[in-house]
Amino acid sequence: MTPPNPPRTDARRHHDPETRGFASDNYAGAHPEILAALALANGGHQIAYGEDDYTAHLQQVIRGHFGATAEAFPVFNGTGANVTALQALTDRWGAVICADTAHINVDECGAPERVGGLKLLTVPTPDGKLTPELIDREAYGWDDEHRAMPQVVSITQNTELGTVYTPEEIRAICEHAHGLGMKVHLDGSRIANAAASLDVPMRTFTNRVGVDVLSLGGTKNGALFGEAVVVLNPDAVRHMKHLRKLSMQLASKMRFVSVQLEALLAKDLWLRNARHANEMAQRLAEGVRAVDGVEILHPVQANAVFARLPHDVSERLQQRYRFYFWDEAAGDVRWMCSFDTSADDVDSFIAALKEEMAAR
Amino acid sequence: MTPPNPPRTDARRHHDPETRGFASDNYAGAHPEILAALALANGGHQIAYGEDDYTAHLQQVIRGHFGATAEAFPVFNGTGANVTALQALTDRWGAVICADTAHINVDECGAPERVGGLKLLTVPTPDGKLTPELIDREAYGWDDEHRAMPQVVSITQNTELGTVYTPEEIRAICEHAHGLGMKVHLDGSRIANAAASLDVPMRTFTNRVGVDVLSLGGTKNGALFGEAVVVLNPDAVRHMKHLRKLSMQLASKMRFVSVQLEALLAKDLWLRNARHANEMAQRLAEGVRAVDGVEILHPVQANAVFARLPHDVSERLQQRYRFYFWDEAAGDVRWMCSFDTSADDVDSFIAALKEEMAAR
Amino acid sequence: MTPPNPPRTDARRHHDPETRGFASDNYAGAHPEILAALALANGGHQIAYGEDDYTAHLQQVIRGHFGATAEAFPVFNGTGANVTALQALTDRWGAVICADTAHINVDECGAPERVGGLKLLTVPTPDGKLTPELIDREAYGWDDEHRAMPQVVSITQNTELGTVYTPEEIRAICEHAHGLGMKVHLDGSRIANAAASLDVPMRTFTNRVGVDVLSLGGTKNGALFGEAVVVLNPDAVRHMKHLRKLSMQLASKMRFVSVQLEALLAKDLWLRNARHANEMAQRLAEGVRAVDGVEILHPVQANAVFARLPHDVSERLQQRYRFYFWDEAAGDVRWMCSFDTSADDVDSFIAALKEEMAAR
Amino acid sequence: MTPPNPPRTDARRHHDPETRGFASDNYAGAHPEILAALALANGGHQIAYGEDDYTAHLQQVIRGHFGATAEAFPVFNGTGANVTALQALTDRWGAVICADTAHINVDECGAPERVGGLKLLTVPTPDGKLTPELIDREAYGWDDEHRAMPQVVSITQNTELGTVYTPEEIRAICEHAHGLGMKVHLDGSRIANAAASLDVPMRTFTNRVGVDVLSLGGTKNGALFGEAVVVLNPDAVRHMKHLRKLSMQLASKMRFVSVQLEALLAKDLWLRNARHANEMAQRLAEGVRAVDGVEILHPVQANAVFARLPHDVSERLQQRYRFYFWDEAAGDVRWMCSFDTSADDVDSFIAALKEEMAAR
């Protein structure tokens, strides 16, 4: 991807581009086609703050995926997408029902509460997935002013535990939520992996089944940075542009966010990247299952593998490959595959795992 | 800058890279050296969320500019930098004294108030510049619980009106503010233009004269996107990383923000870009001064030219070049030059201005 | 109901009930009829949080004053009333146009910004009164996401400077605001004094001329504590009860707020108290005008007298009577009369003023 | 001080002062000694906003209860006390660990999140009581910027389930929290009932065992309205007055809040009221235990009785006495006693319960 006569820059390379691990899909860099897209969009002047030609074109691409009423609002990152979306779907007195493992609950430093004044009503789940029954644990009290009013159900697809909702499961959630007067938000920071896993278009489990607003992920799918709030049900929101700006998610040179999403979504880069990551996770899971003493914890349906193994083995393995404990007390770890994970990476990792297990 | 065999991408070019105007320095794209830097930083895995090698190296670059205690916290955009910085410098009861023309007051959709709960105490100024005397209009009442407590003075360098504080002026503000127990924030979204205008290092009018925290601009200086909160006085702040995260300004693939700032700041790209933009503004101002009936409004000290001209002329000229009214009722307009403005662009624009003036 | 032998209490009297000053109308205690009303409402159980019989009856009283669609939401204090009302009238992206002397801007420690995330767009005024022309200085940019969206005009009647809008002036403001798609809030912490001054019912300058939501003051009118957000235009708001609760203004034993408002408003206690305070202010102003070297600063239209006098005289006088500087540098002071100010209080104060002026 | 002929008032009595139920201790009115105290504090002028003689004297009373460093900040209501206290103990990035049944989590319409930007980290408990072990479920990740930083443990004494922590249990919580660098807040809206239940002074389970800040309840203990944030550890907080004001909890005529707290706390009214309410709850529980088919759910340690009984019985009983379902699906109800509950009230209620059970 590097041109033969690279343009000069005063920056220097500080890392080894051959080193890869299993810590997170955002440890990866950008897909080369993304960098090419940035170069395409560069040069000349384009209106700032979203009135550029790339953002205009992105709307066509998004409508191709999510139907004629969909509109994309590019933002910087996933937390920004989620909090902008949830503010759009709530009043000042609103609350959001979500799984207690939801990214909005555990990984955003309270941004939903602090920036949006949102109350989260959390529900424990076995696998990161809400159901109508689980929603009902918090879906009540709309007339009770002492209670933050449940106005949104927020689900994550695929979930933070690597599991994937079927379209039917999401449809049931949407019908239930809508029947109770609530809206549905889908945190799709890894939506591409879910679509690849289900082998269906993204619309099949979003607008087609009733999701109102979507946080569409780009970063973990191979972009440099960049996500979008995608409004699927225009009647559910107002003044998205103001909300994006006050949430500090308005890029001035937005063409560079939009063209990355175009590069991903215009054809199949989003799907190629996601399928590859998912396949590597399957390869990894298969290899791990063959190792005695290591237990796979959740169904491996996307690009994450959760496993339980002896703590000392994890620690030695972490000296060779970077990855995270999910629940250190229990000995649970998370291994993530990304668009640039190679089969060799996986095989070497499994070999290392075997060595460390054998060294006990 | 485009390599001979460009890598494929499904994105397409939607704009004419030869079209430039005078609307804003963020209508420009990215400098080619920035794209080259992104390519350098790509490939392989790097720890996300700021523990990468590029962000580590950026600290050295920043210390070279701003002294041994400076620390940079890369963020996405200027509003994000400002609101993160101001939250760091205030308690829950704090207020910020600023010019009524300050970006934080007029251009951020209330993000300081909404995200940070900040009260802005605004002061009218003739030229966008605060002084100790102007600060004193709002600097009182620290013991009065009815009044939001003034804790920060925020200045913009160069100002939103294209004027530039001298180092001595900023020193006087800092001494005055510190003497009153307040801290000083400098919104430096165009700090490079100010340094080029003053022909001094950035430290000369920041850490050397008492500025506590700086919003360091990258986007308007030729980056794709990316700014940094630079803490100059570490005693003035705590837990910047938490504040950046809760302000939704934490990039997962932060290496790509940091390497852009490195490309700008490692040597002199920041200064080359700013000097060029400033020179183009001088060329533009010189040309405009020669046109009867057009008045230059503020000292042209950086890359902005403010002018007053007949409304009908502005409107016809806007059909040929995009730019904004600053005060439509008064007939005031703003023309901005950027790193990619060419002398031909300026000359053609002046010729067009003359034609439209002559057509009255 | 009052026992012949006053009930015991372990509390003791710590103050001299004969000492009165001119510092503020909230230095006064409660009118005896208010205490009698509290005793009436006491005893037995009443549903908490506003479903009691006193709050229900208050609605009739309020409708008698403000028309058939008015509804009162009792709250604790003026800041609480204002911030609840303004949140009700704005979206997350909304802004409020007000005089720069408005209580919401200068006396609420930033509660509108911090609790409500509200942006205040302030306008300087000569006399604390907005006009359509003054409103226009900030009434623009509804489509510009960089600008907090002007959604409400907030006026204070009578103003913080003791001046009183005519009904025609408020009608003009309301028509102008409504014509621009904005709503009108009236901060009526001293609305009774304004009505007494104009000698008209409160409705004449509120619902009759287009005010949408009112902060109705009780405390400065002789209550122990207690105000109400009065919704005059039900179409302008939603879910007031939730907003009141989340603003921490929901009294559990609300009967005791409501019965105080009933005591004031059922017949004419509100007007008796206000007329008396206003008369005392006229008596005070008349006396002051006869003192050489003391200047009355604003039209004395309600219960406040603003004056300019030599600084040393003020300081000596403050040793005899408590009152506040309004602008210490200019030598401006504020003298407030309240429902319990006596003619003797006024006359003695004028005599003291004369003595201190003579002592120079 | 009370006139022989009760003062007139235009308010009228709208309720039957002989009707009492078991719905809530805030359905009760004020104790007659409270009204007497209000009359004592009335008359004359007192400095507003807390500089009055009653608030000054209250500090002595508070120090008598809670030690020489305690300071009280009177506020309007319990939600206001809690949110003011929790803001004082947290930074912008702070989180609060609490039981999932805590009032701050389930009964304040999200005010902690909306007003204070607070993240609540909730833990399920069997009986409303936290323990060091339960705290540890959420006490981690202080260096992880993705996680809201646990800075406070908030406990309720007595709990929302009518259970009471022993002093030793609170000491263990405080030691654990302090050992982890966290502070401890105690929501004491019913602290008097807990002290009466334990038969110890309030200090025994607050400042003596390490509680940093207390929400001291007055309303449910017989006041008209009024609570106080009591700072027990002055090093734990800053600028409480500003926090109280920006939280809209600053009473202008504060003498009337303070004198109520004085009336309660100067001698033993607080304890008389609480003991009586607790005794009535014991009488009620005893009576209920004798009724076949009705189950007492939690230890009856204060003034609440939780019971499970057939749904139809509850509904018929509610037509005779007002009370609330706690968990309607399970058939759980809550019966509260208050300072004015009489033995006859309890006996009649038990008789009615028996009748309705027999009528099945």
Work out the minimum CA distance from B180 to partner chain D, whole angstroms: 17
D4 pLDDT above the threshold of 50: no
The whole-number pLDDT of residue B6 equals 60
Of the candidates C49, C146, C246, the beta carbon closest to that of A92 is on: C246
Chain D residues inside the 8 Å CB shell of A146: 106-109
C-alpha radius of gyration, chain C, whole number: 21
**Partners of residue B335 on adjacent β-strands:** B305
SS (H, E, C) chain D: CCCCCCCCCCCCCCCCCCCCCCCCCCCCCCCHHHHHHHHHHCCCCCCCCCCCHHHHHHHHHHHHHHCCCCEEEEECCHHHHHHHHHHHCCCCCEEEEEECCCHHHHCCCCHHHHHHCCEEEEECCCCCCCCHHHHHCCCCCCCCCCCCEEEEEEEECCCCCCCCCCHHHHHHHHHHHHHCCCEEEEEECCHHHHHHHHCCCHHHHCHHHCCCEEEEECHHHCCCCCEEEEECCHHHCCCHHHHHHHCCCCCCCCHHHHHHHHHHHCCCHHHHHHHHHHHHHHHHHHHHHCCCCCEECCCCCCCEEEEECCHHHHHHHHCCCCCEEEECCCCEEEEECCCCCCHHHHHHHHHHHHHHHHCC
Lowest mean pLDDT of B3-17, C107-121, C143-157, D286-300, name the range. B3-17
Interface probe for A, chosen from B1, B2, B8, B9 (most Cβ of A below 10 Å), is B9
At C37, give phi and psi (nearest 5°).
Answer: -65, -40
At B128, give phi and psi (nearest 5°).
Answer: 85, 0
* ipTM of the complex model: 0.96
The whole-number pLDDT of residue A292 equals 94
A4 pLDDT above the threshold of 60: no
**Quick one: what percent of chain A has pLDDT higher than 70?**
98
Q: What is the Cα–Cα distance from A291 to A299, expressed in whole angstroms?
A: 17
Taking an 8 Å cut-off on Cβ atoms, the answer to whether D92 and B87 are in contact is: yes
How many CA within 13 A on the CB side of residue C40? 23
pLDDT band for C172, please (50, 70, 90 cuts).
very high
Q: What is the Cα–Cα distance from C306 to D182, expressed in whole angstroms?
A: 50
The whole-number pLDDT of residue D61 equals 98
**Partners of residue D327 on adjacent β-strands:** D332
The whole-number pLDDT of residue A2 equals 45
Give me the residue label for tokens 């070297």: C293
Give me the residue label for tokens 């009861």: B93
> Domains (ranges, CATH) in chain D?
32-265 (3.40.640.10), 269-358 (3.90.1150.10)
The whole-number pLDDT of residue C6 equals 59
Chain C residues inside the 8 Å CB shell of A145: 49, 241-242, 244-245, 250
D108 pLDDT above the threshold of 60: yes
The whole-number pLDDT of residue B5 equals 58
D256 pLDDT above the threshold of 90: yes
D8 interfacial to chain C (CB closer than 8 Å): yes
Of the candidates A8, A246, A257, the beta carbon closest to that of B110 is on: A246
**Partners of residue D180 on adjacent β-strands:** none
Taking an 8 Å cut-off on Cβ atoms, the answer to whether D117 and A109 are in contact is: no
pLDDT band for C1, please (50, 70, 90 cuts).
very low
Average pLDDT of the segment spanning C309-324: 95
What's CA C301's distance to the chain center, in Å?
14
Report pLDDT digits (tens) over D149-160: 999 999 999 999
The whole-number pLDDT of residue A360 equals 84
Chain D residues inside the 8 Å CB shell of B242: 91-93, 145, 149
Report pLDDT digits (tens) over A59-110: 999 999 999 999 999 999 999 999 999 999 999 999 999 999 999 999 999 9
The whole-number pLDDT of residue A5 equals 57
The whole-number pLDDT of residue C69 equals 97
C229 interfacial to chain D (CB closer than 8 Å): no
Work out the minimum CA distance from B123 to partner chain D, whole angstroms: 23
Split chain B (360 residues) into runs of 10 and give each run's mean pLDDT: 66 96 96 97 97 98 98 98 98 98 98 98 97 97 97 97 97 98 98 98 98 98 98 98 98 98 98 98 97 95 97 95 92 97 97 94
Average pLDDT of the segment spanning D93-102: 98
- Among chain C residues, the shortest Cα distance to D244 is held by C109
Work out the minimum CA distance from B141 to partner chain C, whole angstroms: 11
Average pLDDT of the segment spanning D138-142: 97
Taking an 8 Å cut-off on Cβ atoms, the answer to whether A117 and D95 are in contact is: no
Q: Output the CA–CA distances (angstroms, integers) from residue B117 to A24, A255, C244, D91, in the order listed.
A: 34, 31, 19, 13
Taking an 8 Å cut-off on Cβ atoms, the answer to whether D244 and B49 are in contact is: no
Report pLDDT digits (tens) over C20-46: 999 999 999 999 999 999 999 999 999
C207 pLDDT above the threshold of 80: yes
Average pLDDT of the segment spanning A155-176: 97
Average pLDDT of the segment spanning C272-280: 98
The whole-number pLDDT of residue D6 equals 59
Nearest residue to D19 via CA among C43, C257, C254, C50: C43
D2 pLDDT above the threshold of 50: no
- Among chain D residues, the shortest Cα distance to A116 is held by D114
Q: Which long-range contacts (CB under 8 A, 24 or more apart) does C236-241 make?
A: C236/C88, C236/C89, C236/C183, C236/C212, C237/C88, C237/C89, C237/C212, C237/C213, C238/A91, C238/C88, C239/A91, C239/A93, C239/A149, C240/C71, C240/C73, C240/C84, C240/C88, C241/A145, C241/C50, C241/C73
pLDDT band for D177, please (50, 70, 90 cuts).
very high
Interface probe for A, chosen from B1, B2, B8, B14 (most Cβ of A below 10 Å), is B14
The whole-number pLDDT of residue B93 equals 98
The whole-number pLDDT of residue D7 equals 75
A40 pLDDT above the threshold of 50: yes
Give the N- to C-terminal CA distance of chain B in Å, as an integer: 43
C-alpha radius of gyration, chain B, whole number: 21
Average pLDDT, chain A: 96
Average pLDDT of the segment spanning D80-84: 98
Give the pairing of strands D332-336 and D304-308.
antiparallel
A150 pLDDT above the threshold of 60: yes
pTM of the entire predicted model: 0.97
The whole-number pLDDT of residue B360 equals 84
